[in-house]
Chains A and B, each alone.
Chain A
Amino acid sequence: MPGGAALIDWTSGLALGTVGDSPGGDQETAAVEAAEIARLAAEQHAFAPDDDAGAGAAGAGAPADAGPPVEDLIISNRDSYHVLRFVGASFDGSVFLHLWLARAEGNLALARIRLGEMAERLVPA
């Protein structure tokens, strides 16, 4: 089945793990490009509302229950869907899952739900 997934750190652009094919052929390049998109979304105030402007100094970093600044990103093109799902703050909010699937066979709604479940399994509450 054409498609695959990767777990990527968006600060460095490193793929911590990959399965399946890579979009564009090269896994490292795909990881860096996906990290670029993820970082942009996570750092722009329009997409990542800064909810605790006053609480920055309290505790060691963000509170453990604070979720990642963005939940997920969906990119669709002529022949595929890409879902980028941010993983919880246990990893400092710098890790996301990147799933891509062929548009002809993939079910975007289902993929998004399953990816969300996977992200939660990775970081048990």
Chain B
Amino acid sequence: MTTVRTTDHPRLPVRDKAAAASRAWSGVSPMLTRLAAEHATGVLLREHGTLHLHDGLVVHAESPSAPGLGTLLTARGTLSSEEWQRALADAEDGHGIGCRLVEGGLVAPGALEVCHLTALYDAAYFALAPSSTPGRFRYGTAHRFGPLHAVPVAALERETLRRRDLLRRIWPEARADTAPLARAHPVAAPALTRRRRAVLDRVDGARTAPDIARELGRPAFHTLVDVRRLTAAGLVRARGEPPPPVVREPPVVLAPPVPDPHITLLRRLRDALEAL
């Protein structure tokens, strides 16, 4: 008999904008909020990534944890890596690489914009992660992708918080986001989708989630979603983490020998009758 499994994935969170606005400050970086308010142009360097600002809007983001635009474009065959390298070299003269790719007919404008926005939100998720060191801002540095799509700081912060919420709902433990991943062997493995199986196939005890994202040419956040679901399903665990304890039967608590209340009552009754 086959068992029917319904999806156990939690719903995607929606951030309550009214509630966020009523709080005094709902952002993730006070410095970024201030830079947006003063319409700053430059580069914000944070512990886990970099945000490029133009006139207070985020035009580009990079993070060592997230695959860059080049990886996303080349991994799926949209662009060959030679074409990307050539465009990157040509763009040194300040001409935006995005414009160059579109003008050269290498990438459709829509496709480039989708990939760029995906990469931007993906890298910003890591760049805006809580950090242990303060960020630094360099004013007036032009970023090299040229003016593509710009994202308001508030929208980016809201999306980043929503993404954190989404991951936490799938599986609350964040260790697997950065640690090398190892396979675990659950008692009953659930059926996997093609996308998730591709991630699981690359779990080898050494690769981390960002490594797998780069290899697959997928956004790192999307890979984190898959890794956390695989973790929740018991198929993957962060290395260095003790394997989940075997669920034992709860120990049988032996009740202290309490005399049956009825017998006690009967005895007392008998004693009372005998005493008459």
Contact = CB atoms under 8 A, between A and B. Distances in A.
Nearest to A88: B76
Contacts of B194: 50, 52, 56, 62, 69
B148 to A, nearest CB: 12
B111 A124 contact: yes
Nearest to A89: B76
Contacts of B242: none
A60 B215 contact: yes
Question: How would you classify the secondary structure of chain B's contact residues: helix, strand, loop or mixed?
Answer: helix
Nearest to B191: A45
B102 to A, nearest CB: 12
Contacts of B15: 28
A40 B9 CA distance: 9
A39 B9 contact: yes
Nearest to A66: B194
Interface residues of B, number: 40
A49 to B, nearest CB: 10
B111 A90 contact: yes
B48 to A, nearest CB: 18
Interface string A15-42: 0110000000000110010011001101
Nearest to B110: A122
Interface stretch (B22-30, B38-46, B52-60, B115-123): B115-123
> Closest 5 CB pairs between A and B?
A64-B77, A13-B12, A61-B216, A11-B222, A122-B110
Interface of A: 7, 9, 11-14, 16-17, 28-29, 32, 35-36, 39-40, 42-45, 48, 50, 52, 56-57, 60-62, 64, 69, 89-95, 121-124
Interface of B: 7, 9, 11-15, 17, 75-78, 108, 110-111, 113-115, 117-118, 121, 159, 162-163, 166, 191, 193-195, 197-198, 201, 215-219, 221-222, 225
